[in-house]
Structure 1
Amino acid sequence: MTEPAVSAEPGVVRASGLDGQTEDFAQQIADQVESFLLALRAVAREAEGGSAVSLLLLEISQVLLAGARLGAQQDFVPPAEYQPDVGPEADLDRLRLRLAAILDGVDAYSFVFDPYVPEVVESTLSDDLTSVAGDLENGLRHYRRGNVREALWWWQFSYVSSWGNLAGAVLNALLSVVAHDRLDAEFEGEDEQVAAADQMLGGESTDRP
């Protein structure tokens, strides 16, 4: 287990065995992760309808930038074969239920998880946002305990294997909601989804010739 070294900066974890550049990178990722988790809880607690969609679109875009930065790095290697114990996972069920209630008519959606194996997956935005939050929160707990290398490995691994794809699917779905409202797009067989998007964002449909 990597022990945290003493730091003069509040909130900054310094771990032995890592160069300063990697430590700074880890701090930046941790800050982005924490910002996303705080914003997601704030949206679930306070936002409604169209404002929730817009805020979620912004936050998921920003955390995907953190993921892209992780993906561009060399592979991080965990210091041990097994993950250190960081206690029980956070209970995110209340968050999921609140997001489902806020998103309501646009919560259910479908996407292709792997474009090279084009199988359509049925899911919900609330489930996938909560899953992304769970992966990110797990890495943040490692980071806060001084397991910086473990945190970087977990964030990178779970980005490639899980939350990166889910976050991308959520981004596309939220962007579709905004597009339906602002562009008044009409797609055959999607009348209910378009109506739900329009209602969610408070727009008014205008018939096109």
Structure 2
Amino acid sequence: MESPLKNFAEVARKFCAWAETQPVSTENEVKTAIELLANLSSAILATSNLGFGEDLEGERISDEEWRVTYNRFGFLPFNYYSTFFNPANVGKEEPVIGDLADDLADIYRDLKAGFWLYDRGHVKEAVWEWRQSFQTHWGRHATGALYALHAWSTNESIQL
């Protein structure tokens, strides 16, 4: 059986590879996004916290690389969706606008920073980077995007 860390790295590489390819069709892109986002979230939660390791930070992709990725995700059937910063705060805050391309491009950037460490043998540091950035950043992007894409596909009668 594959270790949870290797499984996460495999799923994360699939997400990054998808982000680096040209879109196929709207329906295929939506299905792929839903599958990868669900698998990423599940896989990172299955990993163990290995501690901090050395004080290293993964190299982040440039703003230009991020913009290319953002534009690539513009192929999806919609870009903006309604969401809340704290959905449990019912009736106490106004909805805000989520940006699907921003969600996916930010996830890509955070995963790539972890791979910069992982591929150089800094496994403990990579796991900390991925888990910490999931908790504080890309986890919200992943769950928001997953919710929006699932709702859209249901409304459009797309079979998942």
* Structure 1 length-normalised TM: 0.65
Q: Distance in 1 between matches of 2:4 and 2:26?
A: 35
Stretches of structure 1 that go unaligned for 5 or more consecutive residues are 1-22, 183-200, 202-209
Q: Distance in 2 between matches of 1:28 and 1:53?
A: 22
Q: Is contact 2:60-2:110 (8 Å) kept?
A: no
Q: Do structure 1's residue 38 and structure 2's residue 12 form an aligned pair?
A: no
| CA spacing shift, 1:25–1:115, aligned 2, 3 Å | same
Q: Which one of 82, 87, 106 corresponds to residue 115 of structure 1?
A: 87
Greater RCO, CA 8 A, separation 6+: 2
Per the TM alignment, residue 97 of structure 1 is displaced from its structure 2 partner at its CA by: 0.8
Q: What are the Cα deviations for residues 173-195 of structure 1, in whole angstroms up to 9, with x where unaligned?
A: 0001111111xxxxxxxxxxxxx
- Larger % of strand: which? 1
Q: Which one of 93, 114, 139 corresponds to residue 114 of structure 2?
A: 139
Opposite residue 158 of structure 1, the aligned amino acid is: S
Q: Percent identity?
A: 23
Opposite residue 95 of structure 1, the aligned amino acid is: T
Q: Which one of 21, 30, 51 corresponds to residue 53 of structure 1?
A: 30
Q: Is contact 2:82-2:96 (8 Å) kept?
A: yes
Per the TM alignment, residue 41 of structure 1 is displaced from its structure 2 partner at its CA by: 2.6
Q: Is contact 1:108-1:122 (8 Å) kept?
A: yes
Per the TM alignment, residue 25 of structure 1 is displaced from its structure 2 partner at its CA by: 3.6
How many equivalent pairs are there? Answer: 152
Q: Is contact 2:23-2:72 (8 Å) kept?
A: no
Stretches of structure 2 that go unaligned for 5 or more consecutive residues are none
* Structure 2 length-normalised TM: 0.83
Q: Distance in 1 between matches of 2:56 and 2:39?
A: 27
